Amino acid sequence: MDTMTLKAMRFFGYHGVYAEENKLGQKFEVELELKLDLSRAAMEDDLDATINYAELHAVTKEIVEGPPFKLIEALAGAIATRLLQSYTNLNEVTVRVTKPNPPFEIYFDGVTVELRRKRDEHGTIVPV
């Protein structure tokens, strides 16, 4: 299986448990790792034989900059689900969402959640 990765996409959103996060918002970083067959795209140099990464960025942006989630786990899950529902040639997706500046009184370089999802033999989206 081939891999396409979109790294360090940055968006502004209002996700979080605390009221100030929902009011003030903050930056989020998203990485997508997609498993799909890229053989035809590699041989034919045809955009229709792959997934347009500009579309992937637009879908991710719409979700991250849309209605808020309390948890970045839910945000990552929404992204994974939408991508698997939208692209039938996508076999598996890993979504990493980083909140670089969590509102805690401890200091670290952020928190990242990673979710891996795929479609099972019945078409149901399941954890990997």
Query: Which residue segments constitute the domains of the chain, with CATH numbers given?
Result: 2-127 (3.30.1130.10)
- Rounded to an integer, the average pLDDT of 40-57 is 97
pTM, two decimal places: 0.95
Residue 106 reports pLDDT greater than 90 = no
H-type alpha helices, the chain: 19-24, 39-44, 53-64, 72-86
92 token code pair: 């598996």
% the chain with pLDDT above 90: 88
Q: Which residues are catalytic?
A: 99
pLDDT for residue 25 = 94
Residue 105 reports pLDDT greater than 80 = no
> Which one, of 28, 23, 33, lies nearest residue 53 by Cα?
33
pLDDT for residue 69 = 98
